[in-house]
Amino acid sequence: MSDEKQSGNPPVQGSSFFDRPNVNQAIIPVAGGIPLGLESVFNSRLGIGGVYGAWGKSYDNLSLTLLIENWLGESMLEEEKMNLADLGFVSRHHIPDLTVSEHLKLELEVGTHLLKEAIQINGWKPSEIGGVLLGVSGPVSDDYVCQISRQAGIPESALKVSVHKACDGSMGALNLSLNPHLAVPGQINIAEELYGKKILVGGIEGLSRFISKTRDINALQLFANGAGVLGVVPGESFKFLVGKEHEAYDEDGVLAVRMFYPHSRERIPGKSLVEVSKDGSNGIRVAGLMHEPEDGNPIEMAGLMGMVKLFVRTGVQVVSDVYNSYQALMQKIGTPDKSISVAIAHHANLKINSLKNKQLQKLGINIPMPWLLNDFGNVCAASNMIAFLRQLPQVKPGDHVLFDGFGAGTYYDVMAVAMGG
């Protein structure tokens, strides 16, 4: 991973993800052929593996401008063009304009490939899978997780959980699978139900499908396709230590996102913004309320400074709370010198992560936070999973890892986990 940089140091211009030596490529037979690239990772010391990748044509920062101008039907103004390399991104993946049925077929194929590859790299059988939990910001169908699980040969009896909390989706899914304290009275305790079972957790984001329909110039430059799925055995390969989920309603609608999933769209004072409902015979939908663009666009951003204000202040507080709980736990169990080895943060962009890291350091919280996603763009719920899989070869048995998720709404899921093996 010599091309990856630490937070605070922008990555240099690099080649496409598809050019990495361990990426296996395939062509999805939709609209004349859509390229899919997947890279599998397995740490034999931990017995943990997964797969990540992207689909669509790869665009560097220069060719991306031409693509966006084609989508818009007009030239971008110079002042509208972001310095994307400074934001940590050098390439991303997009698909051509497709029909509704083509989008569905494509993303079902992509999701099925990911689940099958994740099962295989872990040395499991589809029949052994007890749960599939996926973060998906804008699902192509309401029952997407159930459909791809079925196509991957996973039993109907396995629990299926769809988490729609924007970029926080995969971390919301991981938190639900590990943290028994998140259960709501009267509803299934997902962590207790999945304890000791072989499950798949991840994020699958076909963002190119709907950002190509927006006029928001910032969103068009930042977001793209990406996915990552991880094999987890709660209580064994991933041992929950401390964690927290947090909601802080985006009063000003700094980041407005259309909800491509069922939600009442009601905000009830004193109640959670997240609605939990049944999704098929053995599925659960966890859906977060979003501000939605008033003009019907898929996404609308207030600008980079708005994103910084939205995510950094509250994000630092949530991480700080979890870190303090972690230190208290280490003190309680008699290992006060044990430290967190690495923090896996959502890759919104490098400036947000760098500022967050700096603010944490001012509070005396010094955790390595490597920058690992320069060749994807912002891939929302997929980013934490991709970042972890790229860091996975360096993780050792007994290491403690901090997962830091955050997304529009706004939602935060932060947890410290001990790695088994």
Fill in the amino acid letter for 243.
Answer: G
**What are the residue ranges spanned by the domains of the chain?**
5-419
What are the φ and ψ backbone dihedral angles of 390, each rounded to 5 degrees? -75, -25
Answer yes or no: are the C-beta atoms of 145 and 162 closer than 8 Å: yes
Q: What is the pLDDT of residue 251?
A: 83
Structure tokens at 103: 């989008």
Q: What is the pLDDT of residue 10?
A: 41
Residue with tokens 């663009």: 293
Q: What is the pLDDT of residue 421?
A: 64
Q: Per-10-residue mean pLDDT for the chain, 421 residues long?
A: 37 72 96 97 97 97 95 94 94 96 98 98 98 97 96 97 97 98 88 98 96 92 97 98 95 89 92 89 92 89 77 95 98 97 96 95 96 96 98 97 96 97 64
Which residues are CB-contacts of 117 (< 8 A; sequence separation ≥ 6)?
A: 38, 40, 51, 229
Spell 156-189 as b/e; 16+ CB within 10 A means b: eebbbbbbbbbbbbbbbbbbbbbbeebeeeeeeb
> Which among 49, 29, 45 is positioned nearest to 229, based on CA atoms?
49
Fill in the amino acid letter for 146.
Answer: C
Residues in the chain: 421
Which residues are CB-contacts of 214 (< 8 A; sequence separation ≥ 6)?
A: 220, 297, 298, 299, 300
Answer yes or no: are the C-beta atoms of 160 and 132 closer than 8 Å: yes
Omega prior to 99 cis, within 30 of 0: no
Q: How far apart are CA 203 and CA 224, in angstroms?
A: 13
Answer yes or no: are the C-beta atoms of 14 and 1 closer than 8 Å: no
Q: How far apart are CA 103 and CA 303, in angstroms?
A: 29
pTM score: 0.95
DSSP 183: P
Spell 338-348 as b/e; 16+ CB within 10 A means b: bebbbbbbbbb
Q: What is the pLDDT of residue 8?
A: 40
Which residues are CB-contacts of 353 (< 8 A; sequence separation ≥ 6)?
A: 7, 88, 345, 347, 369, 371
Answer yes or no: are the C-beta atoms of 152 and 126 closer than 8 Å: yes
> Which among 65, 70, 92 is positioned nearest to 80, based on CA atoms?
65
Structure tokens at 387: 């970042």
Q: Is the dihedral of CA 401, 402, 408, 411 positive or negative?
A: positive
> Which among 155, 173, 29 is positioned nearest to 102, based on CA atoms?
29
Answer yes or no: are the C-beta atoms of 183 and 191 closer than 8 Å: yes
Q: In angstroms, how far is CA 113 from the centroid of its own chain?
A: 18
- As assigned by CATH, the class of the 5-419 domain is alpha beta
What are the φ and ψ backbone dihedral angles of 175, each rounded to 5 degrees? -60, -45
Other Cβ atoms within 10 Å of 306 Cβ, number: 16
DSSP 23: -
Structure tokens at 226: 């990406």
Q: What is the pLDDT of residue 221?
A: 96
**Strand ranges (E), 98-169:** 129-135, 159-164
Q: How far apart are CA 106 and CA 112, in angstroms?
A: 10
Other Cβ atoms within 10 Å of 421 Cβ, number: 16
